[in-house]
Amino acid sequence: MELSRRTALGAGLGAFSGAWAREAGAQAGTTLTVALPTTPTSCDPINPPDHDWMIACQMVFENLVEYDIDGVLRPQLAKALPTISADKLTYAFELREGVRFHNGKILDSEDVKYSFEYMLNPANRAARGPTFSRLSHVEVDSPTRLRVILKEPFSPWMTFLTKFMGIWPKGSREELGEDHFRRRPTGVGTGPGLFEEWRPNDFISFRKNPNYWTPGKPAWDRLVVRQVPEDAARVAYLLSGQADIISVPPPRDFPRLRTRRGIQGGSRPTLGGWSFIAMNNARPPFDDLNFRLAMAHAIDRRTINERIYHGMVETAAVPAPASSWWFNPEANAKLDYNLDKARDYLARSKYPNGASFELACASVPYLLDSRDAAIFLQSELAKLNIEVKLRMAEQSVLSPALSRGELDALIGNFMSPGEATYMIMVYLTAGQFMSRSSNYANPRLEALMRAAFAENEDEKMKPILAEMQMLLADESPFLWLGFFSAANLWRDRVRNFKVSQGQTVTVRDVSLG
């Protein structure tokens, strides 16, 4: 049956049906409502919630530069992108003038220095602090000029700021305490939204910041970000006008919904959203290269991505999105779906007669439901005499187990800042918080990583990243299915909205028609 017919607004239901629709529209034109599937845990950018709820951090807090919805670095609180010293260790910024915090205080270099020092101090337990461990300190030259000093070259750090960092007033942490930043961050940001209310299990709301540094923005008066976990309910909210924008639409309904009258939709592959299978290389059967290669050739990525993920994953066998500038098609072509090759590698492995492993999968999906893909893999790999035992558990149980190296394998969809090295660094090099998920170590990969960090220009980085992909295709420490798409649906009255490659809904530039 066609969705459009089934849900077509019934004529003649008149007053009866109109009641709640009218109510929902009562504040139309002023309030923008976004519906997200998950539960917010914090508004503090240094202990960020999931990528959907980073909207709460990004409404309040801003950074020197922004890694924007297209994956382009742009100045935010800084006037321009920094000038970088020849040794690539010093980044000099000049701040915008007259930017005010929500408490009225003018932003200056001391605030920036204070914010970075707070985040870098291990005692303050910033969740992604280790990501920035190559940063040394900030030097203040004048109220509007400052330099960020690095310990060693680390070109991608600016792309991580938008998701994992923010600038708050000097002294505010001690004055207001950690809970203030987590639960009611009033007065401490420079962003377009003033924190208004957090109603647990319901919504977080913001008011327009009338003193925002870009005049005329935001173009709404109030933003309500609702928590609507059920897929069907989220769609119903959108169709009935109770929500203007929804995130993570049900993949299967997405193509039909986006062509409905009154509704618009968009999707784009994220630059850092791995759809993958993590394999613990220290545990059998993944301790054998030939077995991993057999797996890499045995997986029908296209069928999974088109039929099970309904086109919401852009296929790639290497950890680079096919639509990115750093994608290496040659490396990608090495890992084609070919059962003969798979059998060949399997015969050469330590496990010629098959093997058995436990595949973990989130029981409560976030971003994309992997359960059906896991079930498909189970039946596919059985053909090669590989027994897959499924283990379903909550993500909050699986993530710690993964990071402690306690899982054989995990199929999932993990989001990152959307830059070429972050995920590889975190999962496949030593000393990172997810290193034990793979237990993979390769001096060549580490060397390539350092070489990439020392380059600030795409063109110079490209051959290094290409070689990295080649290496990972040959070694297959993990299996990549592709990069999942960020997708949104929104009502016609929402103007200037664009899907973000970083997954987080971005509404600063949105207006309501």
Positions that interact with another protein (CB under 8 A): 1-3, 6-7, 9-10, 13, 16-17, 19-24, 26, 39, 41, 125, 127, 179, 182-183, 199-202, 227-233, 235-237, 239-240, 242, 250, 252-253, 256, 303, 307-308, 363-364, 369, 371-372, 375-376, 378-380, 390-394, 396-397, 399-400, 403-404, 433
In this structure, what is the dihedral angle of CA atoms 196, 199, 200, 205, given to the nearest 10 degrees? -40
**Collapsed DSSP state (helix, strand, coil) of residue 448:** helix
Nearer to another protein, 31 or 144 (CB): 31
Q: 276 phi and psi, to 5 degrees?
A: -155, 175
> Minimum Å distance from CB 121 to another protein?
16
Q: CA–CA separation, 423 vs 118, rounded Å? A: 25
Q: How far apart are CA 105 and CA 103, in angstroms?
A: 6
Output 327 or 427, the one with its CB closest to another protein: 427
CB of 413 to another protein, least distance (A): 16
Please say which residue, 163 or 436, places its beta carbon nearer to another protein: 436
| Pick 228 or 313: Cβ nearer another protein | 228
Least distance to another protein, CB of residue 262, Å: 13
Tell me how far, at minimum, the Cβ of 366 lies from another protein, in Å. Answer: 10
Question: If DSSP codes are grouped into helix, strand and coil, which group holds residue 102?
Answer: coil
Distance CA 379, CA 373 (A): 10
Residue type, 75: P
Taking the complex as a whole, how short is the minimal distance between the CB of residue 364 and another protein, in angstroms?
6
Across-strand partners of 66? 74
User: Is the Cβ of residue 112 or residue 246 nearer to another protein in the bound state?
Assistant: 246
Whether the Cβ atoms of residue 493 and residue 512 lie closer than 8 Å to each other: yes
**Nearest to another protein of 264, 399 (CB atom):** 399
Least separation in angstroms between CB 332 and another protein: 23
Which residue has tokens 């987590």?
182
**Residue 410 identity (one-letter amino acid):** L
Contact 376, 308 (CB under 8 A): yes
Whether the CB-CB separation of 337 and 302 falls below 8 Å is answered with yes
Between 177 and 329, CB nearer to another protein? 177
84, β-bridge pairs: 91
Nearer to another protein (CB atom), residue 310 or residue 343: 310
Pick the closer one to another protein by CB: 242 or 416. Answer: 242
Give 153 or 249: the residue with its C-beta nearer to another protein: 249
Beta bridge partners of 279: 409
DSSP 350-401: S-TT-EEEEEEEESS-BSB--HHHHHHHHHHHHTTTEEEEEEEE-HHHHHHH
DSSP 492: T
Shortest Cβ 161–another protein spacing (Å): 21
Q: Among the residues of 47-192, which ranges form H helices?
A: 54-60, 109-120, 157-164, 172-176, 178-183
CB nearer to another protein: pick between 280 and 506? 280
192: its two tokens: 């377009």
Say how many Å lie between the first and final Cα of the chain, rounded: 32
Indicate the residue type of 481.
L
Nearest Cα neighbor of 32 from 165, 163, 192 is 192
> Nearest to residue 292, comparing CAs of 302, 304, 284, 300?
284
- Tell me the residue length of the chain: 513
What is the closest distance, in whole angstroms, from the C-beta atom of residue 9 to another protein in the complex? 7
Phi, psi of 260, deg, nearest 5: -70, 150
Residue number, 324 or 435, with CB nearest to another protein? 435
Residue number, 307 or 350, with CB nearest to another protein: 307
Smallest gap from Cβ 4 to another protein, in A, equals: 11
As measured in angstroms, the least distance from the Cβ of 495 to another protein is 25
Question: Min. distance of Cβ 279 from another protein in angstroms?
Answer: 19
Cβ 82 to another protein, closest distance in Å? 31
DSSP code for 295: H
Which helix (H) or strand (E) element contains residue 461?
helix 458-475
Beta strands of 151-244 (E only): which ranges?
Answer: 193-199, 203-208, 222-227
- Residue 378 CB, shortest distance to another protein, in Å, is 7
